[in-house]
Amino acid sequence: MTEQEKLHDSAEYKKMRSQQLYCFEAPELMGSIIRANEICAKLSTMTFNSPEYRKIIEELIPGLPKTSAIVPPFHCDHGHGVIIGEHTFINYDCIMLDGGEIKIGAHCKIGPRCQFFTPQHPIDYEERMQSVETCYPIKIGDNCWLGGGVTVCPGVTIGDRCIIAAGSVVVRDIPSDCMAAGNPAVVKKKLK
């Protein structure tokens, strides 16, 4: 059994991916994080045009379409929780905490320094002192444009063809064909 198969078969991984409270310090999860951190460190010494860039980014994010690109530096917790559609471009300094899956559709433009956070720490302070959290997936539809510095919080879905203004903090779902802005982001107008 490969390391990846062992990880996907572990109880804490299954809890993490199914929105249950899980221990983020479980050895198999820490191994996955360390692996991703090491690959992200390699990427930080490269440019988008470095000869070894494509091999390294595909090692980090399995299934990354050839038509899509992530400009280094890039940071994530695992990499295998990031799913990106065709013809999507992710600019410099993106952070994806992918304990929960982060799905970004096709033909999306993600501005520099965007952040996608799936972990949610417990509300109760005593529980928060333990090494536990819950992860809620993030979904970005097709043909979306997120301006620079957008933060997407746990469990948020952004519909197709949306524009999220630079610097916005998205804490709740945004329907398709909307332009949203602010902290917290609110729909400013319907597009189309």
Summarised one tens digit per residue, pLDDT across range 154-165 is: 999 999 999 999
Check residue 51 and give its pLDDT: 95
pTM, two decimals, is 0.96
Q: Which residues are catalytic?
A: 121
What is the DSSP annotation of 26-73? -HHHHHHHHHHHHHHHHHTT--TT-TTHHHHHHHHSTT--TT-EEPSS
How confident is the model over 73-87, as pLDDT tens digits? 999 999 999 999 999
